[in-house]
Amino acid sequence: MEVHENIAQPSSSIGLESPTLTPNPPVQDHTTTSTGTTASPSLTFKGDLIILPNHLARISPTCASIADPSQHTLHFFADASFPGHNWNKGPSTPSAPAGAAVFWKPWPCIDPADPWHSRAFQILACHNSRQAELFAVVAALETATLLAHLMPDLRWVTVFSDCQDVMNTLAAAEGSYPSALDPLVKRAFEACGSLRDTRDIRVAVCWCPGHVGILGNEKADELSKEIRRYNFRHLVPEEQPTRVSGYEGPFKYLERARRGHWWKDEADFEWTANMPRKRFYPVAASRECDEEACEEADDEEAYDEAYADEDYDDETYDAENYDYED
């Protein structure tokens, strides 16, 4: 694992105090190599963890956002949103879930006018924003392992995250025993190892400055917040899981919720219906839900099926849970 670190990071950035990222010895290009030896391949992150100075860290994600899809490279943008009212006070719940989103441009390109595809998740039992951000990166790495089967010429996978703590967490876990690994960290190690060992694909997780107008990051940020606003009661369990669990919101369900039709609470509808639609980016986890398909899905039979066993009103809904976002 190579760790690329910014030694003289601007004061606006945080999270570089981790001893796992300390250069040994310091060099001018701010690059060091970690050579930890482990007994099991799953205990080594077989990729690069990169944190560059702010002005340099913007270059790669900006280029990736505007570049055409390639059969050799996949660039992922991962971001998460955690309930602001619950900041570091407890796990996310069905009534106040965390959100995670991943955007990428697949090959071959299906729609040149809108090349982006994405996945979105509601996350339960998530204790803080850092854990949600780690889940988003894991989702990106696991998506890459799936897409690798469809892209035989794939050689590079890059995941951009605006949370430096994700890179610090993965670096700090290097050399740990399997039983001591956080389940999310273990999933990241396994996904990266699968890409490297089975298909010889080079993986890098890179810090990307957030909220600076980088298109891929902005898309992931908006979708991670949007997914939290909807009540997909047929997908997300009412019972709180005992460990961090993500529940994916399919594209066709998001489209229906955006139109204000169903799988939304009446109390929630008034708050979201008037929000500017330009903030809602299209989700292309699947492309089968076109305009005609969405209209067919809004028939009475589908509505009755969705609400066959439960009332329309959700007693667990609390508007205050949605007033603050990270």
Q: What are 155's two structure tokens?
A: 């050689």
**Total of domains in the chain:** 1
* 98: β partners: 123
pLDDT digits (tens, 9 = 90+) for 175-207: 877 767 899 999 999 999 999 999 999 999 999
Instruction: Give pLDDT, residue 255.
Output: 85
Cis amide leading into 26 (omega within 30): no
Question: Could you tell me the residue range of the domain that residue 6 belongs to?
Answer: 2-308+316-322
* 102: β partners: 78, 119
Comparing C-alpha atoms, which of 225, 326, 325, 321 is closest to residue 265?
Answer: 321
Instruction: Give pLDDT, residue 256.
Output: 82
Helix (H) and strand (E) counts in the chain = 10, 9
pLDDT digits (tens, 9 = 90+) for 222-279: 999 999 998 877 788 888 888 899 999 988 888 888 887 544 444 444 444 444 433 3
Instruction: Give pLDDT, residue 215.
Output: 98
User: Which alpha helices (DSSP H) does 200-287 contain, by range?
Assistant: 215-226, 251-258, 266-273
Q: In sequence order, what are the residues at sequence separation of 6 or more whose Cβ sits closer than 8 angstroms to the Cβ of residue 253? A: 230, 232, 235, 263
CA distance 104 to 284: 10
CA distance 98 to 21: 29
Instruction: Give pLDDT, residue 252.
Output: 84
Residues in the chain: 326
Comparing C-alpha atoms, which of 247, 254, 229 is closest to residue 123?
Answer: 247
Do residues 1 and 43 lie in contact, with contact meaning Cβ atoms separated by under 8 Å?
Answer: no
Comparing C-alpha atoms, which of 299, 260, 266 is closest to residue 280?
Answer: 260
Instruction: Give pLDDT, residue 87.
Output: 60
Instruction: Give DSSP secondary structure letters for 105-142.
Output: --SS-S-TTS--EEEEEEEES--SHHHHHHHHHHHHHH
Half-sphere exposure at residue 249, Cβ-oriented, CA atoms within 13 angstroms? 30
- Average pLDDT across each block of 10 residues of the chain; the chain has 326 residues. List them in order: 53 34 36 40 82 98 97 98 74 92 95 94 94 98 97 98 97 81 92 95 98 98 94 81 90 82 46 40 35 39 42 43 47
Comparing C-alpha atoms, which of 75, 58, 88, 65 is closest to residue 326?
Answer: 88
CA distance 211 to 214: 7
Instruction: Give pLDDT, residue 216.
Output: 98
Q: What are 216's two structure tokens?
A: 């891929």
CATH label of the domain that carries residue 119: 3.30.420.10
